[in-house]
């Protein structure tokens, strides 16, 4: 009988799929281990596989604790928290979970956009607090006819654009390349996109190439009627400037699923009525998390069987 392959689990994944993984392989939970160093030392001579999630990632130093490491399977499409250059230099393959989460993440972008524009959470609190009995809630902005600027017209950006079309919005986008198969308006400059837009949605990958691309200047250009939505990564926006501009009213509102330094959210945002907040829930539905977990299992199985990965990065 051949022994089960060892897997170092850097962070949690969707519980039912974690259980499947743990029954099929010799899994070792790094994130909840009482002595992670001793755990890794005991595995370093043989462990070839690590499983992580998008937020946790894996650093170069962590990879180097495992000299035999050959695969990092990421539960998440975003691999910005994995040191990809180091993985490449060591010949470690990386897999992620694209496509299966696209529609749910795009839904969350629209939920946040609508929530910020129509003040959905504030209205909910207004009813619950019994304030409706004393006065009407007031009038809000509208999503109808907005110019929505999408930062990053990849799979998720396109899914957001399709939804916005159904809400009678005009679509523009910024990215490294113009896309030939869409007739949305292309901007090769993000500030120009923000100037044209009155809703800006970040849907690009995180990482060095997009660090703070939603700059203070872009947010200022978006303006006092503008809504900023982020379902990508906290790193893509200048968060301190965003908070400052929201507080002053120079930026109209925001719908935010992601932040720098999660789960810490700037105190000032919590007090703002113009902001809709979510605890990084974009892909967090049962069907999508099931499919993401299945892709982790499929990539690990492919690696163990010596086949090509299903969704290599």
Tell whether residue 77 is a contact of ligand 8YV (CB under 6 A): yes
**Cis status, amide bond into 263, omega within 30 of 0:** yes
Tell whether residue 283 is a contact of ligand 8YV (CB under 6 A): yes
Tell whether residue 210 is a contact of ligand 8YV (CB under 6 A): no
CB of 208 to ligand 8YV, least distance (A): 16
Q: Residue 262 catalytic?
A: yes
Token digits of residue 106: 């795009």
Q: Which of 248, 246, 176 is nearest to 207 (CA)?
A: 176
* Residue nearer to ligand 8YV on the CB measure, 78 or 252: 78
Question: Is the Cβ–Cβ distance between 207 and 235 less than 8 Å?
Answer: yes
- Mask: binding to ligand 8YV, 29-68, rule CB under 6 A, as x and -? ------------------------xxx-------------
Q: Which residues pair with 29 in a beta bridge?
A: 9
- Which residue of the set 90, 262, 286, 289 is catalytic? 262
Total chain residues near ligand 8YV (CB under 6 A) = 11
- Which residue of the set 28, 119, 146, 233 is catalytic? 233
Q: How far apart are CA 298 and CA 257, in angstroms?
A: 28
Among residues 5, 17, 43, 76, which is the contact residue for ligand 8YV, using CB under 6 A?
Answer: 76
Q: Exposed (0-12), middle (13-18) or buried (19+): which is 69, by Cβ within 10 Å?
A: buried
Tell whether residue 108 is a contact of ligand 8YV (CB under 6 A): no
User: What is the DSSP secondary structure assignment for residue 5, as one 8-state letter?
Assistant: P
**Phi/psi zone of residue 72: left (φ > 0), alpha (ψ -120 to 50 degrees), beta?**
beta
Q: Residue 37 catalytic?
A: no
Q: Which residues are part of the catalytic machinery?
A: 233, 262, 280
- Residues in contact with ligand 8YV by CB under 6 A are 53-55, 75-78, 101, 280, 282-283
């Amino acid at each position: 009988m051949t022994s089960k392959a060892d897997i170092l689990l850097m962070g949690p994944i969707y519980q039912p799929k974690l259980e499947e993984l743990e029954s099929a392989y010799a899994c070792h939970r790094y994130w909840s281990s009482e002595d992670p160093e001793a755990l890794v030392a005991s595995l370093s001579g043989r462990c070839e596989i690590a499983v992580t999630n998008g937020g946790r990632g894996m650093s170069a130093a962590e990879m180097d604790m495992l000299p035999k490491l050959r695969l990092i399977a990421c539960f998440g499409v975003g691999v910005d928290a994995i040191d990809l250059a180091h993985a490449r230099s060591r010949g470690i393959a990386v897999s992620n979970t694209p496509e299966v989460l696209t529609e749910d993440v795009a839904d969350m972008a629209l939920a946040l956009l609508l929530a910020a524009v129509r003040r959905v959470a504030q209205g909910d609190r207004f009813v619950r607090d019994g304030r409706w009995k004393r006065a009407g809630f007031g009038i809000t902005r509208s999503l109808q006819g907005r110019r929505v600027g999408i930062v990053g017209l990849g799979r998720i950006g396109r899914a957001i654009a399709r939804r916005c079309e159904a809400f009678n919005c005009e679509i523009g986008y910024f990215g490294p390349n113009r896309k030939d198969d869409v007739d949305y308006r292309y901007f090769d400059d993000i500030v120009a996109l923000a100037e044209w837009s009155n809703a800006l949605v970040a849907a690009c990958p995180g990482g060095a190439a997009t660090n703070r691309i939603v700059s203070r200047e872009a947010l200022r250009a978006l303006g006092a009627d503008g809504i900023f939505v982020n379902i990508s990564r906290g790193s893509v926006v200048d968060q301190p400037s965003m908070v400052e501009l929201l507080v002053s009213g120079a930026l109209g509102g925001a719908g935010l699923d992601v932040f720098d330094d999660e789960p810490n959210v700037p105190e000032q945002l919590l007090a703002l009525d113009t902001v809709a907040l979510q605890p990084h829930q974009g892909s967090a539905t049962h069907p999508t998390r099931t499919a993401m977990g299945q892709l982790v299992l499929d990539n690990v199985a492919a690696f163990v069987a010596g086949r090509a990965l299903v969704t290599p990065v």
